[in-house]
Amino acid sequence: MKKIEMIIECPHCEGTGIYSGIGESKNIGVICHRCNGTGAFNYSRSYNEFTKRKIKDGIERVYLKGTQYKLALGKVDFQGVGEIDMDKEGVSYQEFLDGKQPAHIKKLECPLLADQSACHEIKGFTTECNSLNGGWIDLITKCKNQPNKSECWKRFEDQI
């Protein structure tokens, strides 16, 4: 285990030594309790230096994050989606260790839920999402086009 120590700008008062928050009226400051008014903060953390990726016992399959659903092995009946054989999605843990990355589970999420930043990089993609929805999407999971997410995945993959 290694330890790092350094003096940094106090994150609480932004290096001013003075704190002014919700408890202080306009034009009032108090001595910062974190740095005692110095503006400096002693940053100290212990860490393990990375040598290699470790094995996590008990893992059988690996999936991408962010599906909004609780994932499980075997055939799972997802509310509003239907049954998906999760043993055929993702990758085995060994495949992951060998460098293979899992793909999105397209039945569970649309491209906008899966990778919003990539969707914004495709010219006109999110504009079309809004159009298919019948107006601006304020909550992606409420998009009226969710039942047709396979069409959205085609647009995403074709960069349309």
* % of the chain beyond a pLDDT of 70: 99
List, in order, residues 6 or more apart from 152 with CB less than 8 Å away.
Answer: 110, 111, 112, 129, 132, 145
Angle at 110 between CA 108 and CA 116, to 5 degrees: 125
Note the pLDDT tens digit of each residue in 107-145. Answer: 999 999 999 899 999 999 999 999 988 888 888 888 888
Judge residue 40's burial from the number of C-beta atoms within 10 Å of its C-beta, 0-12 exposed, 13-18 middle, 19 or more buried.
middle
Q: How far apart are CA 124 and CA 85, in angstroms?
A: 33
Tell me the sheet residues that pair with 41.
Answer: 8
Nearest to 94 by CA among 132, 70, 59, 130: 59
Mean pLDDT throughout 27-42? Answer: 96
Tell me the sheet residues that pair with 89.
Answer: none
- The predicted model scores a pTM of 0.68
pLDDT, residue 34, reads 94
- pLDDT surpasses 80 at 66: no
pLDDT, residue 142, reads 84
Q: How far apart are CA 61 and CA 126, in angstroms?
A: 32
- pLDDT surpasses 80 at 152: yes
